[in-house]
Amino acid sequence: MKSYLFSCLEKIKSEYVEIRYEEVVSVYIHYVGKELESIGEATEEGGGIRAKEKGGWSFVSFNNLDKLSSYLNFAVKQARLSKVNSINLAEVPSRIEIIPATPIKDPRQISLEEKYQLCTRYNKILLSAKEIQTSDLRYADVHTIKYFANSEGTYIQQERFWTVLGMAAIARRGNNIQSAHEGIGGVGGYELVENQEKKAEETARRASNLLNAKPIEKGKYTVVIDPKLSGVFAHEAFGHLSEADFLYENERLLKIMRLGRVFGNQNLNIIDEPPIPGEGGFYLYDDEGVASRKTYLIREGRLVGRLHSRETAAKMGEEPTGNARAISYEYPPIVRMSNTYIEPKDVSKEEMISGVRRGIYAKGFRGGQTNLEMFTFAPEEGYLIEKGKLTKLIRDFNLTGNIFTTLNNIDTVGNDLVLFTGPGGCGKGGQFPLPVSTGGPHIRIRDLVVGGK
Amino acid sequence: MEKILNEALSKGAKEAEVYRERGETTTVNFQSNRLKSIDTSFQDGTGLRIIKDGKIGFSSTTNLNDFTSLIKSAFTSAQFGQKALLQFPSSNKINPVDCFDSQILSLKTEDMIEEGEKSIELILKQAPYFECEVEVEKTVSEVAILNSQGLKYSYRKSFYAFSIHAFLAKEKNFLEIEEEETNSQYHPYSSSLAEKIIQQAELAKRSAKIFPGSYPVIFTPKAMPIIFQALKRGINGKMVQKKVSPLLSKLEKPIVFSSINITDDATFPYGISSSPIDGEGMPSHPTPIIREGVLKNFIYDLQTAAILKTKSTANGVRGYDSLPSPSTTNFLVDEGEMSLEEMIEDIKEGIIVDQTIGSGQGNVLMGEFSVNLDLGYKIENGKIVGRVKDIMVSGNSYDLLNRIVGIGKTSRFVGSTKTPPFYFSKISVSG
């Protein structure tokens, strides 16, 4: 592959060209209730070319590798159509690397029969709790070999196994429908999804318990959020604002997001770190062939960094961080997060809750959205906190607020960091789902708007 | 494709179906008011569905050079597949549907660049403070289907999409206005979309306050998909088959206000979901969903319909890499008699909901929603007085669809939903 890609690149005259090619084989199993909705294997092969001429970028994706040379010509010609201004790329060393994946249990060595049995077992557990109406269970293992070559002489070949299990139990009593979800797995082999019977049991129990929960009155509360929610908060509410492609050509936003600005209290550190083995957002080289690294976004409450592609780094005069990612060969790389988390401090969850007179303990994550200024999250379940104790189970509420105000209202950071990955992912610019992990310790937020009945 | 079909049958499949999608998409992207990149994607994918020993098997690939592994995977999957109750359709009479425009095929990238530039120019002339992201996209594709019952059909499809996202970041006051048009036919959208952005920017210049409480509300067509998402899921044959739809026992019963009529119709000319057949070769036809408030039909694909001993409504929607599953096509909501101006004039104190964040969370199936208002306006004494933000709007869509004061007399496509604005008597607003 290396010599083929380089030989095609050599024939092309352009300021900058890169080729990505992916070979993907995936196995999927999907249960809804007692029925198997789908089971099978899919093969996908395809490539993407990015070319840069003075004017701008051109991107071409394709399935037929034999015609690479003609696609390259097309890409360069297309790039010449945009003749506006110049794009520079931050310098990075050129490299040649071949990175194999080493899962403990190679999913390709496990028969479909065995995977089917595993899913059937978990699915039965999901359906066995009281008042469970239906389940939704998705299993997938994906083997990818990704080839990257560019006109600067870099060649990187990365292999990856992605094995995930998503479980949902849906309980119903009349018009009261409640669901609980669990995402398991990430970058790695079949071992990640084995022995998860307990998780399945817990998920079903959670959904069924939620039927007894009570809605809550709308209003402002002090809210303690669990690691799942604090991770999503770090990612959704703050992480996206740190993606330099939102900022680098927008002077007004850049003024708001200036480095050094205080966003939170001294205990608050937010980090993006791709090279954490096993996590959903793990990678060593991004889709521009740049080595990944740990980046502090917020340190001691101050904005200290952001996530870059080579282009945004050059434009802003900062170091590239290796955060240019594409969900597949069909898309060009854009600035994305990887494993984003809030760094743990030293307060236990119990201490945090005991300091609240009246508030809410919110757990789990059903969904969320932000528009760079506001966010809304739907937790899975929650408890009312009264005089420092968890009392009533509550349901169907959401958390919403202004991102900047909320960051400033984080008054306590816990000591129990957990990172979560799963079958879902992050969406941006039409590219969904991108594998990421999010995490954090428990954190406490003052004056958060809780919407409910 | 014939080769794959014959090979699958000769290997022992009782029935087989090959589905192939080939296409070319070109997107011109503008960021921060300038042309940023031009993307072209060439796609070619094939899915194979078989029935073997009474079970369904499926696999897909983008590499047709190696179709033996495609067939092998389909056979493996059939060992565990669902019991096949469906019967593939034979060559039914298929009427052509307008879903291809040769003007899109011949549209040059240079022309798309020009259209994009024009829209930005128009916006900046009136509102120089905006950072605009513009996407102009054209797609031309060919879908072909072949099955062992003798069906062999292919058709061409085109799309033209134009979207503008105008953004202004001010300390504690971000403004985002999004407008989009998608059609199977070419239209020069640059001026009309730019106009819409400018109008909204004018309205958003002033800000207004609203206290928590219940207020009359107007949902613009852009916001109406929030209201229809529960209904769309409720009529989905899968939800009916799984017995989770709240509409299970509601066929032929009134479920919404009597002035509402909704039809699912893939034969509607040039909608984004228009096509002569569905994903498994069933000829498209209009399906009444709501008539005078009464629920008339659920929507089905072949397999789901067969499980419930009913007929497919030609709603088996799929890509090459997935099995068909029931989904709405063009979701057409009839117009009413009230103009948007009349609705506004009628309101003493209320709001207009246009863009929201956080829809699709919570108990969607039962109609519940609670969204943060991303773009909306306050009405006082029959006039729009300014933008309201930092509020949550919540309610139940079935409840709202029974509290209609007026239905707008002009409708537009928002994705594949064609709807007018709706005026509801009250909605809950919180801080």
Q: Which of B201, B218, B247 represents a domain boundary (last residue)?
A: B201
Residue A451: what pLDDT? 79
Alpha-carbon distance B337 to nearest alpha carbon in chain A (angstroms): 33
pTM: 0.89
Mean pLDDT of A389-403: 91
B276 shares its domain with B143: no
For residue A380, give Cα distances in angstroms to A226, A416, B336, B356, B361: 11, 20, 39, 21, 10
Tell me: do B147 and B244 sit in the same domain.
no
**CATH number (domain holding residue B75):** 3.30.2290.10
Kindly identify which residue of chain A lies nearest to residue B50, measuring between CA atoms: A40
Considering the domain architecture, whether residues B273 and B289 belong to the same structural domain is answered as yes
Q: Decide if B191 touches A, using CB distance below 8 A.
A: no
Long-range contacts, stretch B290-293, CB < 8 angstroms, 24+ apart: B290/B255, B290/B256, B290/B260, B290/B261, B290/B262, B291/B261, B292/B254, B292/B258, B292/B259, B292/B260, B292/B261, B293/B254, B293/B255, B293/B256, B293/B257, B293/B258, B293/B259, B293/B260
Whether residues B193 and B210 fall in one domain? no
Q: Is the pLDDT of residue A425 over 70?
A: no
The pairing of beta strand A176-187 with beta strand A132-150: unpaired
Assess whether B82 and B195 both reside in one domain: yes
Q: Closest approach of chain A CAs to the CA of B430, in angstroms?
A: 8
User: Are residues B9 and B156 both part of a single domain?
Assistant: yes
Runs of H (alpha helix) within B36-189: 67-78, 102-106, 109-126
Contacts of B169 in chain A (CB under 8 A): 250, 252-253, 256, 372
Whether A180 contacts A380, CB under 8 Å: yes
Say whether pLDDT at A266 is over 70. yes
Are residues B168 and B295 located together in one domain of the fold? no
Mark whether B130 and B221 lie in a shared domain.
no
Query: How many contacts (CB atoms, under 8 Å) link A and B?
Result: 205
Cβ separation B43–A330 shorter than 8 A: yes
**pLDDT above 60 (res A411):** yes
Q: Are residues B163 and B224 in the same domain?
A: no
Chain A environment of B239 (Cβ under 8 Å): none
Which stretches of chain B score pLDDT less than 50?
none
Range A245-251 average pLDDT = 85
Mind listing the pLDDT tens digit for each residue in A268-300? 999 999 999 988 899 999 999 999 999 999 999
If asked whether residues B180 and B287 sit together in one domain, one would say: no
Taking the CA of residue B357 and the nearest CA in chain A, the distance in Å comes to 6
Q: Given an 8 Å threshold on Cβ–Cβ distance, is B45 in contact with A41?
A: no
Range of the domain at B310: 206-431
Sort out which chain B residues have CB atoms less than 8 A from A249's CB and list them.
Answer: 31-32, 34, 131
SS3 call for A281: coil
| Minimal-distance CA residue of chain B relative to A376 | B358
Q: How high is the pLDDT of residue B416?
A: 94
Every domain of chain A and the residues it spans = 2-210, 219-451
Residue-level pLDDT at A237: 79
The chain-wide mean pLDDT, for chain A, equals 92
- Which residues in A244-257 are b (16+ Cβ under 10 Å) and which e? bbbbbbbebbbebb
Q: Do A400 and B372 touch (CB under 8 A)?
A: yes
Q: How many domains does chain B have?
A: 2
Number of H helices, E strands in chain A: 10, 26
Question: Does A370 sit within 8 Å of B69, measured CB to CB?
Answer: no
Q: In chain A, what residues touch B368 (CB-CB under 8 Å)?
A: 396
- Of B159, B183, B201, the last residue of a domain is B201
- Identify all chain A residues contacting B116, using CB atoms and an 8 Å cutoff: none
Beta-ladder partners of A61 = A48, B41
Same domain (yes/no): B429, B335? yes
Q: Is the pLDDT of residue A423 over 60?
A: no
Give residue A377's pLDDT.
87
User: How close A419 comes to chain B (CA, Å)?
Assistant: 23
What is d(CA B74, CA B60) in angstroms, rounded to the nearest whole number?
8
Q: A245 contacts in B (CB within 8 Å)?
A: 31
Min distance A346 CA to chain B CA atoms (Å): 32
Phi and psi at B239, nearest 5°, equal: -65, -30
Write down which residue in B143, B176, B201 finishes a domain: B201
Q: What is the largest CA-CA distance in chain B?
A: 74
Inform me whether the C-beta atom of residue B214 falls under 8 Å from chain A C-beta atoms: no
Of A105-109, A375-379, A422-426, the range with the lowest mean pLDDT is A422-426
Q: Based on the domain organization, do B152 and B95 belong to the same domain?
A: yes
For residue A197, give the DSSP letter: H
Does position A429 have pLDDT exceeding 70, yes or no? no
Interatomic CA distance for residues A440 and A417, integer angstroms: 5
Cross-chain CB nearest to B361 (options A44, A78, A367): A367
Give the distance from residue B379's alpha carbon to the nearest chain A alpha carbon, in angstroms. Answer: 23
- Residues in A touching B51 (Cβ below 8 Å): none
Q: Do A63 and B62 touch (CB under 8 A)?
A: yes
CATH class, A2-210 region: alpha beta
Q: Decide if A398 and B80 are in contact by the 8 Å CB cutoff.
A: no
Average pLDDT over residues A104-117: 96
- Angstroms from A178 CA to nearest CA on chain B: 8
